[in-house]
Amino acid sequence: MAALSIGYQIHINFNTPNVPPSRTKFSSFSCAKHTLKWHHKLHIGICALPAISVMAFGSSTEVLPPALDSSSQPPAIFDGTPKLYISYSCPYAQRTWIARNCKGLQEQIKLVPIDLKNRPEWYKEKVYPTNKVPSLEHNNEVKGESMDLIRYIDSNFEGPSLFPDDPSKREFAEELFTYFDSFYKAVISSLKEDRVNDAIAAFDSIETALSKFVDGSFFLGTFSLVDIAYGPFIERLQPFLLEVKNYDITTGRTKLAAWIKEMNQIEAYTVTKRDPKEHLENYKRRFSSSL
Ligand SMILES: N[C@@H](CCC(=O)N[C@@H](CS)C(=O)NCC(=O)O)C(=O)O
């Protein structure tokens, strides 16, 4: 019963990716599966006794709650239950949601989705004065900023580590965290100003970054916070650039193609994905004047 004694849960996900938030079975299994490569002890525990582990926990279902709007009552704020305030469509919030799922924290951290178009006033007044998502209520404090939050969730909650110990990987991770803003700005400004070469160079940099470590298809070889940082944005940019600019970001970029494929094997991520058509419509609306 090693898997039980160390407290990891295995959930089985029966959903297909891209379903909009509704009744969704949840899972940390796929992420844990990748994690097994990094955590030998866990590997032994879970792989030796998969049937027992699954039986012990059963298959859990996370019913994704409806988004709260201006007519909704607030949840019990500061009642001791950690809460992750998100919007289902926000890529920054999605980062934190993925991190929470990857750690297997579906039962410890309650998701509180907010309707950003019709925000409840109590969110700004009582929860997070900047009025943005994501934010995390934990230990009687509310923190924000997705990059800070994914690190915080990784360091302050139980579950498999999402950041490697290897100093060279950690150093590269910091570079990639810093690079994210330039990457996203280059792509977004290319949409607004038709500076397509900037976007091409940005995706080439991603391809080069993905070539650095050869022990897996992820940015640091194995899955980490870096993949979580980039995933939600590449999820949105890929269908948009394909449809609107007829530009396939994976053409000639085998590493990026492999990364996308691997990401789509991670259920802790795929349960957070939205329909690409929804991304397309959002981006079209956002950039309608430049298209
Ligand atoms: N830098 C923030 C950005 C968060 C952000 O811009 N969230 C958007 C939704 S995707 C938001 O809350 N917008 C509401 C607003 O700006 O009023 C982070 O990384 O968490």
Sheet holding 110-113, edge to edge: 110-113, 83-86, 135-138, 141-144
**pLDDT value of residue 31:** 55
pLDDT digits (tens, 9 = 90+) for 179-236: 999 999 999 998 887 788 999 999 999 999 999 999 999 999 999 999 999 999 999 9
CA of 97 to the centre of ligand 1 (A): 14
pTM of the model: 0.83
Residues having CB within 6 Å of any atom of ligand 1: 87, 90, 92, 116, 131-134, 144-147
Nearest-atom number in ligand 1 for the CA of 131 is 17
CA of 203 to the centre of ligand 1 (A): 23
pLDDT at 74 over 50: yes
pLDDT digits (tens, 9 = 90+) for 3-33: 333 333 333 333 333 333 333 334 343 454 4
User: What does the pLDDT average to over 247-275?
Assistant: 97
CB-CB contact of 222 with 262 (8 Å) = no
Nearest Cα neighbor of 28 from 82, 103, 80, 93 is 103
**Largest pairwise CA distance in the chain:** 59
**pLDDT value of residue 195:** 83
**pLDDT value of residue 28:** 41
CA of 153 to the centre of ligand 1 (A): 18
Cβ neighbours around 167 below 10 Å, total = 8
Rounded to whole angstroms, the Cα distance separating 258 from 251 reads 11
User: What does the pLDDT average to over 248-262?
Assistant: 98
Rounded to whole angstroms, the Cα distance separating 155 from 133 reads 20
Nearest-atom number in ligand 1 for the CA of 89 is 10
Nearest alpha carbon, ligand 1 atom 13: 132
Nearest-atom number in ligand 1 for the CA of 90 is 10
Give the model's confidence band at 286: pLDDT under 50 very low, under 70 low, under 90 confident, else very high: confident
Give the model's confidence band at 289: pLDDT under 50 very low, under 70 low, under 90 confident, else very high: confident
By most ligand atoms within 8 Å of CB, the mutation choice from 88, 92, 188 for ligand 1 is 92
pLDDT digits (tens, 9 = 90+) for 129-185: 999 999 999 999 999 999 999 999 999 999 999 999 999 999 999 999 999 999 999
CB-CB contact of 150 with 96 (8 Å) = yes
Is residue 3 helix, strand or coil?
A: helix
pLDDT digits (tens, 9 = 90+) for 93-140: 999 999 999 999 999 999 999 999 999 999 999 999 999 999 999 999
Rounded to whole angstroms, the Cα distance separating 11 from 149 reads 24
By most ligand atoms within 8 Å of CB, the mutation choice from 88, 130, 132, 146 for ligand 1 is 132
pLDDT digits (tens, 9 = 90+) for 41-71: 333 333 322 222 222 222 357 889 999 999 9
